[in-house]
Amino acid sequence: MASLIALTPCAGLLPLTIGAITVTEVVPQALTSVAPFKGHKKAVSEALKAKVGAGLPALNRRSGAVTWFGHGVWMVAGAVSVEGAAVTDQSDAWAVVEIKGAGVEDVLARLVPVDLRASVFKKGHVAKTMLAHLSVTVVRTGADSFEITTMRSMSKTLLHDLEVAMRGVAARG
């Protein structure tokens, strides 16, 4: 019989601090994608509200454990099953990091082609976009913090790109 050991996507690579900015790994207990079938969006939203305390948020938004994750799909932080939707376990598919610190917008402005300044991109706002060459989901989690999600296999590249941008910003003092 096998005895399996679990490793997180950024195992051994984080935390990373350069200047005022720190990147840490976020390890969600579970991630579940929920894509409602035709005509089921409302019912799915209500079912989720009952199960995880939040329904399907609007486009480009996070509400509690539920994050808009692209065209017709939401990502739930947690293991859930709902009727009327395609539900898949995505717990191991994503590398999730938090980047936090004063000037974090300056770091992300070097990588992400979307306006992430606090006046425009507020807490709970979500952007499906790119970070350098990577497809990412960016969520503002606080005044000086963001959560960035990319494909698990590309975690090293994500951290490489963040590190280069962090060094550039930190060098300016």
Partner 1 sequence: MRLATPEKTVTFTFDGQRIKGVPGEPVSAALLAAGIKLVARSFKYHRPRGIMSAGSEEQNALVTVGRGTAQEPNVRATTLEVSEGLEVFSQNAWPSLKHDVMAVNDLVSPFLAAGFYYKTFMWPRSFWEKLYEPIIRRAAGLGALSGESNQDTYEKAFAFCDVLVIGAGPAGLMAALTAGRAGADVVLADEDTAMGGRLLREREDVDGKPAADWVVEALAELEAMPNVRLMTRTTVTGAYDQGTYGALGRIAGGRAAGKPLECFWRIVAKRAVLCAGALERPIAFPNNDRPGVMLASGVRAYVNRWGVAPGKAVAVFGNNDDAHRTARDLAAAGVKVAAVIDSRDDAKVEGDFPLYTGAEVIATKGRHALESITIKTGNGTRVIRCDCLAVSGGWNPTVHLTCHMNGRPTWDVGIASFVPTPESIPGMVTAGACNGAFSTAACLNEGAEVAAGVVADLGLAAEIKTPSADDAAYAIQPLWAVEGKGRKWIDFQNDVHVKDVRLAAQENFRSVEHMKRYTTQGMAPDQGKSSNVVALAVLADATGRGIPETGTTTFRPPYVPVSIAVMGAGSQGKGFAPERFTTSHSASVDRGAPMIEAGLWYRPSYFPKEGESHWRQSCDREVGYVREAVGICDVSTLGKIDIQGPDAAALLDFVYTNGFSTLKVGRVRYGLMLREDGHVMDDGTTARLGETHFVMTTTTAAAGLVMRHLEYVLQAIRPDLDAQVISVTEQWAQFAVAGPKSRELLNTVLDQPITDEDWPFMACGAVSVGGVAGRLFRISFSGEHAYEVAVPSRYGESLFRQLVAQAEVMGGGPYGMEALNVLRIEKGFITHAEIHGRTTAFDIGMERMVSAKKDCIGKAAAARPGLLGESRQQLVGLKSKGVDHALSAGAHLFDKGASHSRVNSKGYVTSVCYSPTIGTHLGLGFLENGRARHGEVIVLRDHLRNITEEVEVCDPVFFDQDGGRARG
Partner 2 sequence: MRIDCPNCGERDRREFYYQGDAVVLNRPSEDAGAQAWDDYLHNRANPAGETRDLWFHEGGCRAWLVVERNTMTHAVHAATLAEKVKR
CB of residue 149 to partner 2, shortest distance in Å: 14
Binding mask 74-93 for partner 1 (x = CB under 8 A): -----------xxxxxxxxx
CB of residue 20 to partner 1, shortest distance in Å: 16
Burial bucket for residue 9 (CB in 10 Å: 0-12, 13-18, 19+): buried
Give CA–CA dist 149/112, Å, rounded.
Answer: 13
**Of residues 144, 165, 139, 138, the one with CA closest to residue 101:** 144
CB closer to partner 1 out of 63 and 155 = 155
Q: Does 88 bind partner 2 (CB under 8 A)?
A: no
Residues that bind partner 1 (CB under 8 A): 1-9, 33, 35, 37-38, 71-73, 85-94, 109-115, 117, 119-120, 132-134, 151-154, 156-157, 160-161, 164-165, 167-168, 171-172
